[in-house]
């Protein structure tokens, strides 16, 4: 086997508008990082800026790799990649038992790798292969079992790290790809229903109402009484188990969920970040306070301002106009990529595009939703803009997958 069998640098097929817009976003990120790292009286700390430049270079390499890798290679070696990925995710667990370090990272000299990030590509590739090659009909309930197992193994491992945010990203990727594959809606409902049951279980009236909805949907769609009753009882069981599970999760995770509902409950604790972020955003107004003029960021009121709350910095200094421009760019990219998915020549390509696009979208929505106080503080960065080399590699890699799907 030669290098050319694996990779094909099909330069002429790169969708340059996408790439250019991605670079515009990273440039916005550099501007925001510069601002977030300069403080009154001490000038700018250029360290973050240069490290981000390095990250962009690394991201570009990752993009080139995932863009030029041949789809035939991906189809042939998807399972190998998947198993390698799972092993890498497990390694930090084993290491943490020995070194009492965190169980998310593998440290190799000066570099740290976070296997759960690369697992995102692998999951997309693996699921794309499964959905494009399945011999079962999407109308068959068993269609979902194999891809569901492929999802649950890494999702469970990441959940145990514990990394709720990444777990959620995996689920979103899976859900979008499953949905696009044409799997019967009723079965999708059966898969989703238990999760809604969990949420409903916190209020007995809502739980009761939801129970009726579940019963109606199940009995209207299924002629097999035994199957229906089992499905219904499973949902009820999940609801009853929820309080036990709630007590089993870490208090800081409980706290995050609770302060999401009302950040003002705990203004100096977990809610502090969200309140300060909202003040930064709100005080930006229509056109913002101007570059380097944000008081919330430059006086250190804003937490994690290079990474998780970078969008609050942009909102404060460039206002609603700046926010709208960036959201518009993201929106444009997503429209463009979904169009690519519709026009893709094969299911596998379409699935790569849908998976990659959904992953980026999910990151965007989780991060921005957090900064505006609509979603819990999960500590997920903003694609292309937040500081952080490892995450830039992920984002550029996802773009590589998407544009690779579009190529040929």
Supply the minimum distance, in Å, between the C-beta of residue 256 and another protein.
Answer: 19
CB burial class (10 A; 0-12, 13-18, 19+) of residue 58? middle
- Please provide the DSSP assignment of 380-405 as one string: PPPTTTSS-HHHHHHHHHHHHHHHHH
Residue of 283, 292, 304, 329 that binds another protein (CB under 8 A):
283
Among 337, 335, 398, 336, CA closest to 363: 398
Using CB under 8 A as the binding rule, whether residue 282 contacts another protein is answered as yes
Using CB under 8 A as the binding rule, whether residue 45 contacts another protein is answered as no
How far apart are the C-alpha atoms of 36 and 313, rounded to whole Å? Answer: 7
Q: In degrees, to the nearest 5, what angle opens at C-alpha 83 toward C-alphas 99 and 171?
A: 90
For another protein, the closer of residues 229 and 334 by Cβ is 334
Count of residues touching another protein (by CB under 8 A): 59
Using CB under 8 A as the binding rule, whether residue 230 contacts another protein is answered as no
Residue of 274, 344, 385, 392 that binds another protein (CB under 8 A):
344
Residue of 159, 189, 207, 365 that binds another protein (CB under 8 A):
365
What element of type H or E holds 315? helix 310-343
- Window contacting another protein (CB under 8 A); options: 142-150, 197-205, 247-255, 340-348: 340-348
Residue of 350, 392, 395, 399 that binds another protein (CB under 8 A):
350
How far apart are the C-alpha atoms of 214 and 202, rounded to whole Å? Answer: 17
Is the CB of residue 33 less than 8 Å from the CB of residue 307? no
Supply the minimum distance, in Å, between the C-beta of residue 143 and another protein.
Answer: 13
Residue of 323, 382, 385, 403 that binds another protein (CB under 8 A):
323
- Window contacting another protein (CB under 8 A); options: 81-89, 145-153, 233-241, 348-356: 348-356
Residue 340: count of CB within 10 angstroms of its CB: 22
- Binding string to another protein for residues 106 to 145, with x set by CB under 8 A, is what? --------------------------xx------------
Residue of 93, 111, 179, 245 that binds another protein (CB under 8 A):
179
Residue of 96, 253, 347, 390 that binds another protein (CB under 8 A):
347
- Window contacting another protein (CB under 8 A); options: 57-65, 218-226, 241-249, 344-352: 344-352
Is the CB of residue 85 less than 8 Å from the CB of residue 118? yes
Supply the minimum distance, in Å, between the C-beta of residue 279 and another protein.
Answer: 5
Using CB under 8 A as the binding rule, whether residue 407 contacts another protein is answered as no
For another protein, the closer of residues 154 and 284 by Cβ is 284
E-only strand ranges, 66-167: 106-108, 111-113
Supply the minimum distance, in Å, between the C-beta of residue 191 and another protein.
Answer: 15
Using CB under 8 A as the binding rule, whether residue 41 contacts another protein is answered as yes
Q: CB neighbours of 314 closer than 8 A, spacing ≥ 6?
A: 28, 32, 322, 323, 326, 385
N- to C-terminal Cα distance for the chain? 22
How far apart are the C-alpha atoms of 177 and 350, rounded to whole Å? Answer: 9
E-only strand ranges, 180-318: none
How far apart are the C-alpha atoms of 121 and 151, rounded to whole Å? Answer: 12
Residue of 113, 278, 292, 379 that binds another protein (CB under 8 A):
278
Residue 52: count of CB within 10 angstroms of its CB: 25
Residue 25 dihedral angles phi and psi, to the nearest 5°: -65, -45
Binding residues for another protein, rule: CB under 8 A, are 39-41, 71-72, 75, 132-133, 176, 179-182, 276, 278-286, 295-296, 299-301, 315, 319-320, 323-324, 327, 330-331, 334-335, 338, 341-351, 354, 358, 361, 365, 368-369, 372, 374, 408
């Amino acid at each position: 086997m030669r290098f050319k069998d694996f990779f094909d640098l099909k330069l002429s097929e790169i969708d340059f508008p996408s790439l250019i817009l991605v670079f515009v976003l990273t440039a916005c990120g550099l501007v925001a990082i510069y601002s977030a790292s300069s403080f009154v009286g001490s000038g700018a700390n250029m360290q973050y800026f240069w490290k981000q430049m390095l990250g962009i270079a690394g991201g570009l390499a990752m993009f080139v790799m995932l863009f030029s890798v041949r789809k035939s290679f991906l189809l042939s070696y998807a399972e190998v990649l998947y198993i390698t990925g799972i092993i890498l995710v497990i390694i930090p667990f084993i290491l943490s038992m020995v070194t009492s370090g965190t169980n998310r990272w593998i440290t190799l000299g000066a570099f740290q790798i976070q296997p759960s990030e690369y697992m995102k590509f692998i999951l997309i590739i693996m699921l794309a292969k499964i959905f494009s090659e399945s011999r079962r009909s999407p109308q068959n309930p068993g269609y979902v079992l194999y891809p569901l197992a492929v999802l649950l193994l890494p999702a469970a491992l990441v959940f145990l790290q514990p990394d709720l945010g990444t777990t959620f990203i995996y689920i979103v990727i899976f859900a979008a790809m499953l949905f696009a594959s044409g799997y019967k809606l009723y079965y999708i409902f059966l898969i989703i229903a238990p999760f809604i049951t969990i949420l409903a279980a916190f209020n007995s009236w809502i739980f009761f109402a939801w129970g009726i909805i579940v019963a109606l949907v199940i009995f209207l769609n299924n002629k097999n009484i035994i199957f229906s009753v089992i499905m219904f009882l499973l949902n009820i069981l999940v609801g009853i188990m929820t309080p036990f599970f709630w007590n089993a999760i870490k208090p800081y995770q409980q706290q995050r969920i609770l302060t999401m509902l009302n950040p003002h409950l705990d203004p100096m604790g977990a809610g502090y970040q969200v309140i300060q972020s909202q003040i930064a955003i709100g005080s930006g107004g229509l056109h913002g306070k101007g570059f380097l003029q944000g008081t919330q960021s430059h006086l250190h009121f804003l937490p994690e301002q290079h990474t998780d709350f970078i969008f609050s910095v942009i909102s404060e200094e460039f206002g609603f106009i700046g926010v709208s421009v960036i959201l518009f760019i993201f929106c444009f990219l997503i429209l463009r990529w979904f169009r690519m998915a519709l026009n893709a020549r094969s299911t596998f390509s379409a699935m790569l595009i849908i998976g990659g696009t959904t992953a980026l979208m999910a990151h965007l929505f989780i991060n921005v939703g957090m900064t505006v106080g609509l979603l819990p503080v999960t500590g997920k960065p903003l694609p292309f803009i937040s500081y952080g080399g490892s995450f830039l590699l992920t984002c550029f890699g996802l773009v590589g997958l998407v544009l690779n799907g579009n190529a040929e």
